[in-house]
Chain A
Amino acid sequence: MKRILVGIKRVVDYNVRIRVKPDNSGVITDGVKMSINPFDEIALEEALRIKERGAAEEVIVATVGPADCQSQLRTALAMGADRALHVQADGVIEPLVAARALLKLVEREQPLLVILGKQAIDDDNGQTGQVLAALWNRPQATYASKLELTGNSARVTREVDAGLETLEVELPAVITTDLRLNEPRYVKLPDIMKAKKKPLETLTLSALGVEPRQQLKLVRFEPPPQRQKGIRVKDAAELVEALKKKGLL
């Protein structure tokens, strides 16, 4: 069966203004809205579109994380995924651990495509897709803004610093999404009801044989330095004057 595996990470919603805990041990997440990482929504949308075009038969969403993550998996099922895999794990999950767990799922499900986000907007690591591709010894096409499947390969347009780069990768491969790949659909209420009946399987890291090793110690969280609030100028002339005085024009 032609499958697509999509990584889903539960993150603090992008609209939340994050605050560091007073004791510098982390950021405040109590009572904060949590969502699917926006890049993962894009990944799921792309997988659903590929399936709708008939180029895949099943879309599986997977997350590695604590029990709470199931609510994001349910949302993903409501968006249209066929089934969900929850690898139960607590504490900090580094990209290498996430990638090892995803690799185990890849070995089990044999997808033709794995689509992940280019970065999780909480840790901003931007590593998991590349690490998975390396462990799996398969191609990676990161920062995708266009994806076309042709037989045994994919043609991927990537957003790179210079502009747009196109790669051709043999399948199976790992793709990571950029913002302009698509615009994710909204979840409709009846779909939320239907999603409750879709399969959600719970696994554990240890059952998969993945050690939850943490390689980086999180020493201290700090708020960023604040910029001094500046002044208002009344018109273009005053602005030009002020910038000239600072030697900027």
Chain B
Amino acid sequence: MSSKILIVAEHDGAKLNPSTARCVSCARTLSGAEVTIVVCAVDAGAVAAQAAQLAGVNRVVTIENAANAHALAAVLAPQIVAIAAPYTHLFGPSTTFGKDLMARIAGLLQAPQVSDIMAIESATRFRRPIFAGNAILTVETSADEKMVGTVRAASFEVTGAGGSAPIEKANVQVQLPTHTRFVSVSAAKTDRPDLMTAARVISGGRALGSAEGFKILYSLADKIGAAVGASRAAVDAGYAPNEMQVGQTGKIIAPELYMAVGISGAIQHLTGIKDARTIVAINKDGEAPIFEVADFGLVGDLFQVIPEIERLLS
């Protein structure tokens, strides 16, 4: 039996989030699978056009509704369930959008969900990290049952462009709940690259001491075109906003270069950077666990080392 995979697009109304292209890459590792992307929006045109260009996508389906102005899981889930019948697999990204939504879909379908898929071995076999990445579990679903999955973005490359999938409008008539209302979103606007997709990331820990202290990281990051991340301790202390947290309960990233500055290297933090190509650790404690995973370790005071690196690059 061939697999039919439905991928739920993540977008902001205008632009498709790169996490969707990573879901497509994941889906394409299952040979012979037919890949459909569903775009739920008020006006899906622009996003659907971007989705249609992703290589390996067979079809794009749009569901348009004024209620889709904001991604509310309780509102989106019944619409996706309404078109779910033909599909064997329903995927979404392991982002806060996808994790919130896909499990609600799984609940409505009473279907099993495999969270954080890092590899597909067959249509029914998947690998995923558990215990903060300290074990990798292979799970098997039943072939007679739909499955829902979230795709661990850091495990897959962004699929390229070059596709030209047909776009169809789905006519979905379901009653949507009104019990959940969007109020506001506050996102710090930044010109720096997005933490999730940046090729280079510099993260700071508790050692930065203050929001002021983080400025030396921003300055170096801007010099090398890097995104800035943070440990939980730094976010908890208010030195950096929550969206910068890297780790088991923050963002899981896979940059080419990750620089951990004044971060001890707790397991929960390391979970977020396991797939980084090169890890650099700068820490004044030569025994810090971060050095166990670092490709390049430098024992020293970050307040001297970071400005020094910036100076050397000038």
Contact = CB atoms under 8 A, between A and B. Distances in A.
B222 interface: no
B263 to A, nearest CB: 16
A221 B136 contact: yes
Contact of B107 (A124, A135, A165): A135
A138 B296 contact: no
Given A161-B95, A167-B183, A168-B183, A134 B107 contact: yes
A54 to B, nearest CB: 24
B131 A121 contact: yes
A30 B141 CA distance: 28
B309 A236 contact: yes
Contacts of B131: 12, 18, 27, 121-122, 124
Contact of B295 (A94, A121, A230): A230
Contact of A27 (B135, B138, B177, B248): B135
A123 B312 CA distance: 45
Interface stretch (B1-9, B31-39, B110-118, B156-164): B110-118
A221 B131 CA distance: 11
A75 B83 CA distance: 45
Given A159-B243, A165-B185, A219-B140, 10 more contacts: A18-B131, A127-B107, A134-B104, A140-B104, A155-B183, A217-B139, A220-B138, A229-B292, A231-B297, A248-B200
A222 B119 CA distance: 14
6 contacts: A126-B115, A140-B74, A164-B186, A168-B181, A169-B180, A222-B136
Contacts of A12: 131
A131 B107 contact: yes
Interface string B223-249: 010000000100110000111000011
A239 to B, nearest CB: 5
Interface residues of A, number: 83
Contact of B179 (A139, A234, A235, A248): A139
Nearest to B128: A124
B28 interface: no
B114 to A, nearest CB: 7
Contacts of A159: 96, 242-243
Contacts of A227: 274, 279, 292-293, 295
Top 9 nearest A-B pairs (CB, nearest first) are A134-B107, A130-B103, A163-B187, A131-B107, A215-B112, A230-B295, A236-B308, A127-B103, A166-B183
Nearest to B140: A217
Contacts of B105: 134
Given A166-B183, A180-B235, A240 B104 contact: no
A245 to B, nearest CB: 11
Interface string B244-282: 000011010000110000000001100000100011100
A125 B113 contact: yes
B201 to A, nearest CB: 12
A95 B103 contact: yes
A75 B292 CA distance: 35
A233 B297 contact: yes
Contacts of A229: 292-293
Contacts of A203: none
B220 to A, nearest CB: 11
Contacts of A138: 179
B188 interface: yes
B115 A125 contact: yes
Interface string A85-125: 00000000011100100000000000000000011011111
A131 B102 CA distance: 9
Contact of A133 (B104, B111, B184, B296): B104
A134 B138 contact: no
B23 interface: no
A142 interface: yes
A221 B104 CA distance: 27
A207 interface: no
A43 to B, nearest CB: 14
A138 B179 CA distance: 8
B97 interface: yes
A134 B108 contact: yes
Nearest to B137: A221
A133 B292 contact: no
B309 A96 contact: no
A96 B224 contact: no
B134 A232 contact: no
B72 interface: yes
A189 interface: no
B298 A233 contact: yes
A63 B111 CA distance: 22
Which one of B107, B114, B138, B242 has the greatest number of beta carbons of chain A within 10 Å?
A: B107
